[in-house]
Amino acid sequence: MSIQKSLIALAVGGFGIGMTEFMMMGLLPEIASNLDVSIPEAGYLISSYALGVVIGAPILVLIAGNFPPKKLLVGLMILFTIFNGLSIIVPSYNLFLFTRLLSGLPHGAFFGVGAVVAGKLAKEGKEASAVAVMFSGLTFANIIGIPLGTYVGQTYSWRYSFVIVAIIGLLAIVSILLWMPNFKKNKDAKPKEGLKVFKHLEPWLVLLITAVGTGGFFAWFSYITPLLTDVSGFDKSSVTFILMGVGLGMTVGNFIGGKLADAISPVKAGMVLLFVMVVCLFIVMMVAQYQIPSLIMSFITGAIAFSIVAPIQMLMIKSAKGAEMLASATMQAGFNIGNAIGAFLGGIPIEKGFGYTSPQLVGAVLAFLGALICISVMLNRKRVAKKYAI
């Protein structure tokens, strides 16, 4: 029971992180209107958070060996709560960009350290299941937290959505303090040694798959609210429930991706799923003006997008033996580079007047490039195998 409570504490933190990262997609029109900027400019708030993750993930993990895991997790959630709390009172767009950057700093490090802690908590042979419990916080954020934050932000004020995030951060801090055991720090740990993993080509290719391939998803998801309201003709009040459907799709996709990776290997699964995402994004673009097909494709595209996570995560872990914590954190950086790329590039054709269906074309190109990089990983493996065979 104590182990389950510890994992739940990690899941609460993951819930808060998932909520603050993704609920922005549902609140862009409200934030843009309140801060007197365009929707594409508001989209840069998504990119700013993602940049914070990219900066914070490797830096904070590299100092992780200097602190006991429990203290580090508490410290990361304190930073998360403070920075998200600042978003409640931020008076201007430029300052909001800065607080979003700060809010992203603890993201990758929390999941990197949390994954290692979850593995230590688990019985032998059950480590992956324990890590899955921690990441279930992200899943539930997509089903419950993000729609809740969207509803509150659209109905009352987007600032109240960040009040909820800050409260969840406080709950995570209390949960970790009460339920997490005091693991001793590893005196022999040398976090900087893990950087040697990145002397090899494959981890860099996996990061490219993550950043470019998932950028395809974020090009669509970043502007899903105006797509649904302005093109599909849904009422604003319906967006919350549609996002719940996307979240449910992500939950289904998470299991599909894991099983597919076990069946045909992570790199092949990633390649297949990214090609499928290309098709999905083209279909989303073509059916956006029709409500029922648009609903169906929102669910399917969410499922395909999240099904890619498990294969790519496993691919990185297998490519970074001996530096799993750093690799786990850098994967979060990779996903958020994809977040930044997708939001930024997806906003360009909107600003040029091509409408809210244009980001899907950008996303399809990014997903296609991600699939090609998967092929390059397979070719690189053949090259390395041939080299050592000789």
3-state secondary structure of 309: helix
Q: What is the CATH number of domain 1-184?
A: 1.20.1250.20
Task: Please check the confidence at residue 328 and state whether its pLDDT lies above 80.
Answer: no
The answer to whether the CB of 315 falls within 8 A of the CB of 328 is no
DSSP state of 123: P
Q: Find the mean pLDDT for residues 16-29.
A: 87
Residue with tokens 């603050």: 20
Sequence-separated (6 or more) residues with CB below 8 Å from residue 71: none
3-state secondary structure of 308: coil
CATH 1.20.1250.20 domain extents, the chain: 1-184, 190-390
pTM of the model: 0.76
Q: How many CB atoms lie within 10 A of CB 390?
A: 5
Say how far apart CA 358 and CA 113 lie, in whole Å: 38
Task: Please check the confidence at residue 285 and state whether its pLDDT lies above 90.
Answer: yes
Q: Find the mean pLDDT for residues 319-329.
A: 72
Say how far apart CA 250 and CA 182 lie, in whole Å: 34
In this structure, whether the domain defined by 190-390 belongs to CATH 1.20.1250.20 is answered with yes
pLDDT digits (tens, 9 = 90+) for 150-206: 889 988 999 999 999 999 999 999 999 998 888 766 555 555 666 777 788 888 898
Residue 366's identity, in one-letter code, is L
Closest CA to 308 of 230, 223, 249, 357: 249
